[in-house]
Amino acid sequence: MVELRTKLVSVSTLALATLYVWWRKGPPRPLPLVLMWLATLAVDMGTTAFNNYFDYWRGTDRFHKVDEPDKVVARAVVEPGYAFWAAFWCFAVAAVLGLGLALAGNLWVIPAGAACMLVGFLYTGGPYPISRTPFGELVAGACLGLALFAIACGVWGVPLDAGVAIAALPSSLWIAAILAVNNTCDIEGDRLAGRRTWPVIIGVRGGEITVMLLGLGAQMAGIAAARAGYLPHRATTTILAGCVPAALILASMHRAGFSHATKGRNMKRILLCLLSHTVFLACGYIS
């Protein structure tokens, strides 16, 4: 219900934020570090469970061949109510952990965390779900990339200046690319379900180009940030080295094509791109 394999996205952003704070300010305080990691995972898992519940409740999954192992609600492996309450309790745990962060001297975490959970709920819930609009990729990159990175920096005492936003940009673009892959592969079903995602509007070819441009933009943004001093200068070399596996993976996705039949393989490939980016950038921090 919570699709643990996709938690790589939030874990990647938080890992890079931890290294950024360490590079810029010194080691993060242990208690806020632990609370931040646990709260982030709880919000991410809750959001995914809500997505599974509302995709079933709205009937979106009727328009897809439901063969993805994590679609346990649509495949009738578990009752829909379990997904809803799993999401509810994940958010409840995140709220308690967020309160702990606030009591540790970060009162602004309360509205920031509430806003993140609201967006997570509204992604597929509410009268006008974000997932049914052309802005899903933008929202995913902004929330799981920039916003999460900035909140972590703020919790650990780093001023929220332009440097934070620039350092978070490469991850934000890769995360947007992940959603672009998902939506491009789901074009046929999303169109029948009445969704107006960005790939539905511009077509499969346009969706694929969007994925490639986001991946290229992420690598170029990282290199530019390192050369300008917003990331460690040595990260220029490691990010350049990371362009090789990223290019090979994106090329394999192009050869496979973007359809529901190739979705599983392509999602693994784009997540591998994010993992590769995280590892190579992390090497730039610690080398």
Domains and CATH numbers, the chain: 4-286 (1.10.600)
Q: What percent of the chain has pLDDT over 90?
A: 73
Mean pLDDT for 74-103 is: 86
Total Cβ atoms within 10 A of residue 108: 12
Nearest to 61 by CA among 268, 260, 253: 260
pLDDT score recorded for residue 237: 96
Q: Which amino acid is at 99?
A: L
Rounded Cα distance between 84 and 86, Å, is 5
- Band (pLDDT 50/70/90 cuts) for residue 80 is confident
pLDDT in tens, 102-157: 988 789 999 999 999 999 999 988 888 999 999 999 999 999 999 999 999 999 98
The average confidence (pLDDT) of the chain is: 90
Asked whether the predicted pLDDT for residue 9 surpasses 70, the reply is yes
DSSP track, 193-255: TT---HHHHHHHHHHHHHHHHHHHHHHHHHHHHHHTTSS-TTHHHHHHHHHHHHHHHHHHHHH
Q: Tokens 């460690």 map to which residue?
A: 232
Mean pLDDT for 261-278 is: 94
Asked whether the predicted pLDDT for residue 64 surpasses 60, the reply is no
Of the two residues 194 and 181, the one the predictor is more confident about is 181
Rounded Cα distance between 233 and 284, Å, is 8
